[in-house]
Amino acid sequence: MKPLQDSRESIFWAGRSGTQRKKRRRSGLSVLNRILTWSAFPQLQLNGKSMLDVFFTVDVEIWCDGWHSIDQKFPACFQKYIYGPTAKGSFGLPYQLDVLNQHGLSGVFFIEPLFSTRFGEQPLAEIVSLVREAGQEIQLHLHTEWVDESRQPLLPNMHEKRQYLRYFSRDEQATLISEGIGLLERAGAGNIIAFRAGSFGFNRDTLGALDACGIAIDSSYNASMFGPDSGVMSGVTVVEPVECDSVLEYPMTVFNDGTGKLRHTQLTSCSFREMEGLLWQALESGRSSFVILSHGFELLNEAKERPDDVVVRRFQQLCSFLDKNRDVFCTRGFQDLKPHIPKHQPMPLVSPIWKTGARMVEQAYRRKYR
């Protein structure tokens, strides 16, 4: 779905093929330079109203519930993690796409492609087709747990699992990112301009690797996980877009829930009332972006055998809220991005303790009926 547009000229991302890495990098730098020229503009306005860019991001990935007999398990796991069939209907990726489109909302689907180096390109092409046919945006996601499972070596002497991208050198990271770009492009994904590391396990080297591969936007920084020790703006909690090593970082939105630690905005981690209040707070405080996390299988219970009714309801409520308030909340992707980069990083958002308590009750109910 196309996001609402203001009257300013769009910035178009184009001209980077997967086979011409040097051209990709030059184009990425050119695009970033054009992006940064917009940083002097105030928050986006439409018809005189301030607007907040909302990124509903979905990490699309497949797991085989362990690493034994994965070839035998894969067909069933593919159905479970992508389509989510249950006795009450299917609640996987197609369901999420349908609900977003019913409300006229845009999302960003970070698709993990390395699994296809084990199981072939057809399952990846099927996932890409689902998202493309729904008119939603595709970007790159990498889970490095798949590297040592590939039928053809992706890196020399890889005989053990390294769970996070940050455990690889900068050159190794660039090799894996380049491989991921190629896999998605061959699957029909189109131009890849943004990235998120699996489990947010990135570091400063990741940004250099992305720059070398011509990707100008990252969304791996999560202040509630690896962000603070990633090497990006050390000593500062990053909660708004920032430029680092020629890459524009779009961090996860995090908030203080009154328990003394930060929490990121995710359907399985936040109640709708928390999310709603945080969105209004971000808008009223002049934030430029709000990044929400979901997964393609997130509306299912832990066993992936039935819908998680609480999370399904949160998703439906959030989509309805964003639809009804589209005059101030602009759901969008990273294509044609016109970001505002603040001069200083604000403090994280804050949610009242009573909402935290209400969410804890909801979470206890979810755990009881898993």
Contacts of 162 (CB under 8 A, 6+ apart): 144, 145, 147, 168
Q: Is the pLDDT of residue 10 over 70?
A: no
Q: Is the pLDDT of residue 254 over 80?
A: yes
- Which pLDDT value is given to residue 339? 78
DSSP 307: B
Q: Is residue 209 part of a domain?
A: yes
Instruction: Count CA within 13 A, CB hemisphere, residue 312.
Output: 15
Q: Is residue 6 part of a domain?
A: no
Q: How confident is the model at residue 100 (pLDDT cuts 50, 70, 90)?
A: very high
Average pLDDT over residues 326-350: 94
Q: Is residue 78 part of a domain?
A: yes
| CATH code, 190 | 3.20.20.370
Residues 55, 266: Cα–Cα separation, whole Å: 12
Tell me the pLDDT tens digit for each residue of 48-71.
458 999 999 999 999 999 999 999
Q: Is residue 151 part of a domain?
A: yes
- Cα 121–Cα 127–Cα 133 angle in degrees, nearest 5: 125
Q: What is the span of the domain harbouring residue 277?
A: 21-368
Average pLDDT over residues 292-317: 96
Q: How many domains does the chain have?
A: 1
Please answer whether residues 175 and 147 qualify as being in contact, where contact means their C-beta atoms are separated by less than 8 angstroms. no
Tell me the pLDDT tens digit for each residue of 264-289.
999 999 999 999 999 999 999 999 99
Q: Is residue 14 part of a domain?
A: no
Residue written as token pair 């970001």:
339
Q: Is residue 10 part of a domain?
A: no
Q: Is residue 113 part of a domain?
A: yes
Q: Is residue 98 part of a domain?
A: yes
- Which pLDDT value is given to residue 25? 52
Average pLDDT over residues 178-205: 98
